[in-house]
Structure formats: C-alpha cells, structure tokens
Structure 1
Amino acid sequence: MNSEEPRQGWPAPPGHPPAGPPANGGHDGYGGGYGGGYGTQAPIVVARTSSHRGAWIGAGATLVAAVIGVVGTYLVSSNKNENPAPPTAQAPAPAPATPSGAETRGGDDAPADASQSQESTPGPETSAPPATEAPSTPPAKPAGTEEWKGALVITYTDDKDLDSVPPAESEIGRENDFSVYPFGGHMLRPESGAKALVWKDTTNRTPSYADCARDIDTLGTESEMELKTGLVLCASTNDGRLARLTVKELAGLASDTRAVFDVVVWSR
C-alpha cells in the first residue's frame, strides 16, 4: 500500500488529487488532461483549534500576571506616599569630651579601675600622717585666780620660785624669787626683779588680792627686809604674779637659817 496515499477523512497533500473516481471518467484523475481533477472539488481543511487555544490561554495568563504586577507596584507606591513613616527618635547628644587626666574615670556609677584605685589609695607605707593640731595657748586665767596655796619653807641654801606650781627651787638662778639669809636675824631678800612690802593695818586685817595689787607697784621694794613671826607681806614675782606671805616660823642660825611661810599665789 502506498504510504503517501491519503486516508479517509484527511485532506490530500498538495500535488495529489483527492481519492475517489475521477469526475471526468479519466484514469486515476488525470484522464481528461488538465481540465478535470482539481478544478471540480475544493480541498477540505481541518483547523487545529486545540493547539491555538492553548497558546492564546498562555498568552492571556502572562498578560494578566503582568497587569497584576503593575497594579500591585502602583498600590504599594501610593501607600508609601500617603502614609509616611513616623519620625525617628533623635539620638542623644554625644557626651562632652573628658578633660585630660580624667580618661581613667568612669561615670558616676561606673567603678574605677582596680589598678588605678590601688595607685590612688595610699598604702600603709605611703599614707600621710594624720594632721596634728597646733598646740593652742591656754586662755589666760582671770586676774586674782588662786593658783597655789600652802605652807612653804625657804632656807639659806634653798631659794624658791613662786611662779612654779608648787613653788620650788629653780635650777636657773634668775628664776628664783625669794631667798632667806642671816644678818643679825632672819632676812628676806627679793631676787631677779621680785618685789615685797610689809602689810601694815591697824585692824589686823589680812590683805586680799585687791589690796596687794593696789599697793605692790607703788610701795613694793627689791630691798631685803627683816622677818618676824606673824609678819604679813605682799609680793610680786619676776613673772608678774602676786603673792601673800605670812611668817609662821623662824629657826636656825647661819647656814641653817630657815623660815616657814603660809603662802597664797594669784594670777594677775
């Protein structure tokens, strides 16, 4: 069977006559020459609508997808323009520059570096000694304050400094105020600027601080005077204090000469 013979229901390929008996009675469709065969019967064409329909559907889907993409892009762009993003919070201002020498310190709550703390904290060997207060001069006592009172013995070899408390012999000779020596009797001699006067009062009144302070500067003397039991004297020391001496006892001769006094020393 000829492979190129057209099958029933299919259109004949170009250059071949349709199947069936020739219309003009010729043989094989060629019998009457060129006048018969193709001039009397049109070819049957069957359109392949299924393949074209799939192509159109694919093209339409591509177009729809492109349109959707364009519309979506436009809507997103419109939303961005209509709803601008809220303003962002401003960043805090930068901290001021740390002055020189303070780079090693943190903030108020930041702990200092341990090594720097050890360097800044003086150790036991480098710690500064505690500050000592300068010695203050004690306030002066009010005039007439009684600084010492009691019995006092002055001998020929034992002078007395009435500015010390209690009165005693000073190793520095010029600081002693009074001495006793024999000269026909028992004599009292003021030393180194000290003064004394014999208190004379017909009423036998014992002189007070005010009485001695009133008379010692005008009536006092640096000359020696003879002592008698019961004699009362006002005196001033070479440091300016006032004293009252009452003779209680006289004894001894020559180098054993001694006198016992009842003494009161006042500040002035």
Structure 2
Amino acid sequence: MNSEEPRQGQGWPAPPAHPPAGPANGGHGGYGGGYGGGYGAPAPVVVARTSSHRGAWIGAAATLVAAVIGVVGTYLVSTHNDDDPTPPQAQTPVTSSATPSGAESGSGEDTSVDSSRSPEPTTSHETSTPSASQPSEGPPAKPAGAEYWKGPLVIVYAEDKDLDATPPAESEIRKENDFSVYPFGGHMLQPGDDVKALVWKDSTNKTPSYEDCARDIDTLGTSTATELKTGMVVCAATNDGRLARLTVKELAGLSSDTRAVFDVVVWSH
C-alpha cells in the first residue's frame, strides 16, 4: 500500500453515507464540488394522508349525524302522539230482547235495538203441549177398574164377539174373539183362546164388582164351556187382559138359531 495515501480521520473528509446529492439537491456533485457545498443532506420524508383515511372520517361523521337526527325525530313523533287525543272507538249497538222499548234498564242507560239486524232464532227445548183445537191421538187412558164399555150384547151361533172392541163386535181375527154361543142340549157359552170365565155363586145374590172378579178370576177361572141359564152371572178375563161381567138376560132359538142376550160391563185394565 502506498504510504502517501491519505487515511480517514487525518484531515480528509469521510465519504458520504448516502449517495451524493446532485445539483437538484443543492450540492456540487461529489468530491469535485469542493467543501463549500459539502455533501447534500437527504430530503425529508413526507408522509401524505391517503384519501382512504379522509373517507373513513367522513363516513363516521355522517353516521353520527344520522343517528342524532333519528333520535330527535323519534322524540318529536312521540311527543306529537301524546298531545293528540285518542280517537273515539266505534260502539256496537246493544240489542235488548228482554227490556221493552222505552223501559228503564237497571243501569240507567237506554238500550236501543238495532233494526238492521234480524232477530236470532231461539231454540226451545221444552216440549210443547197441543192446543185445545188440535185433535188428540185417542181417548185418554182410563184407570184400572173404570168402565171401559157397558151395555146389552147379543151373541148368536157362529157369530163370536170381541169384548175388547167398543162396542163388542166380531173380529175377523179368530183368536181376538172372546166368547161364542152354540147349542149342545142347551145354550152353551164357550170362552175363546186365552180367555177365562167363572160362574159367580153367592148365597146373598150379590152382583160381583170389579174387585170381586179380579180376586177370583186367576184362581177359579177356566176355559171350559158352561151351560147358560137365565139370571146367571159370569166373571171373565178377555184375551187383552180386561175384566168383564156378563149377566144372562134371555136365551132363545134352537140349533143354528141359538142366541143369548147379556147385560155386559167391561172394565179397563
């Protein structure tokens, strides 16, 4: 190495840390420029705020202003609603079916009937009774022991009689007939199917009542034919369960002309 070569720190300036500044930076271009200008100082670094930061601040300010306007508007609307009176509500007309028009109700207020509405049909669960003008289905039932039918009755041969008919008559249904008369050495009385009869015998000649016939007919009554005599009294129970009393008034005719006349009372059961 040449000993004559200058060294750093022995009167020679140190080389610049940054590239030498050009004429634009006020230097004189490297070492040739002399010491007057020296090395040009580096230009200061200026950090410019980007437009994105500015936009963020503007957006935040706009959001704050909108929130304030919303709060103020809500307060004004609420205050306005509190000052306004509540509008009247439509009242439904009260329909009264119990209080006549013009009558005072218990609350002291008049109740009006809405004539535009048709009255609602009422349903009644009560059983209506027929009026007096309506015909009944049949005669009312009589209590047991009451007279069902009473009167004279003629029974001739081959013409049976149904005592449950009013008046007694021959039924087209054979088993519904109660008594028949036929000749067999005399005038015979023949009970029909399910019919019982007994000849009333009493030493005092008492005419049997409903109670007397009811007492004895079940135990003493039979379906056996009986020879008739004038004045004889017969208690009977018909095939429908009614009690009857037959009193022989007259006997006449022979063979096919055989006939008997009775005074008959039929009681209800």
What does the per-residue CA deviation read over 1:6-25, in whole Å, with 9 as the maximum and x for residues that have no partner? Answer: xxxxxxxxxxxxxxxxxxxx
Q: Extract unaligned runs of 5+ from structure 1.
A: 1-83, 97-107, 114-130
Q: Which residue of 2 aligns with 1:230?
A: 231
Q: What is the CA–CA distance in structure 2 between the aligned matches of 1:137 and 1:265, rounded to whole Å?
A: 19
What does the per-residue CA deviation read over 1:36-94, in whole Å, with 9 as the maximum and x for residues that have no partner? Answer: xxxxxxxxxxxxxxxxxxxxxxxxxxxxxxxxxxxxxxxxxxxxxxxx9x954311347
For residue 213 of structure 2, give the secondary structure of its aligned residue in structure 1: helix
Q: Which residue of 1 aligns with 2:165?
A: 164
Q: What is the CA–CA distance in structure 2 between the aligned matches of 1:195 and 1:247, rounded to whole Å?
A: 17
Q: Which residue of 2 aligns with 1:90?
A: 86
Matched, 1:109 2:114: yes
Q: What is the CA–CA distance in structure 1 between the aligned matches of 2:204 and 2:158, rounded to whole Å?
A: 36
For residue 207 of structure 1, give the secondary structure of its aligned residue in structure 2: coil
Give the count of matched residue pairs: 156
What does the per-residue CA deviation read over 1:209-236, in whole Å, with 9 as the maximum and x for residues that have no partner? Answer: 1000000010000111100001001001
For residue 189 of structure 1, give the secondary structure of its aligned residue in structure 2: strand
Q: Which residue of 1 aligns with 2:47?
A: none
Q: Which residue of 1 aligns with 2:180?
A: 179
TM-score where L is the length of structure 2: 0.52
Q: 1:109: Cα distance to partner? A: 2.5
What does the per-residue CA deviation read over 1:163-197, in whole Å, with 9 as the maximum and x for residues that have no partner? Answer: 01111111111111000000000000000211110
Matched, 1:212 2:191: no
Q: Which residue of 2 aligns with 1:155?
A: 156
Q: Extract unaligned runs of 5+ from structure 2.
A: 1-79, 93-112, 119-127, 131-135
The amino acid of 1:89's aligned partner reads P
Q: What is the CA–CA distance in structure 1 between the aligned matches of 2:141 and 2:117, rounded to whole Å?
A: 52
What does the per-residue CA deviation read over 1:231-265, in whole Å, with 9 as the maximum and x for residues that have no partner? Answer: 00100100000000000000011111000000000
Matched, 1:265 2:266: yes
The amino acid of 1:208's aligned partner reads S
State the identity as a percent: 69
TM-score where L is the length of structure 1: 0.53
Over the residues paired in the alignment, what is the CA RMSD in angstroms?
3.1
Q: 1:141: Cα distance to partner? A: 2.2
Matched, 1:243 2:244: yes
Distance 1:257 1:136, change over 3 A: closer
Structure whose alpha-carbon radius of gyration is higher = 1
For residue 180 of structure 1, give the secondary structure of its aligned residue in structure 2: strand
Matches within 5 A, 1:196-207: 196-207=197-208
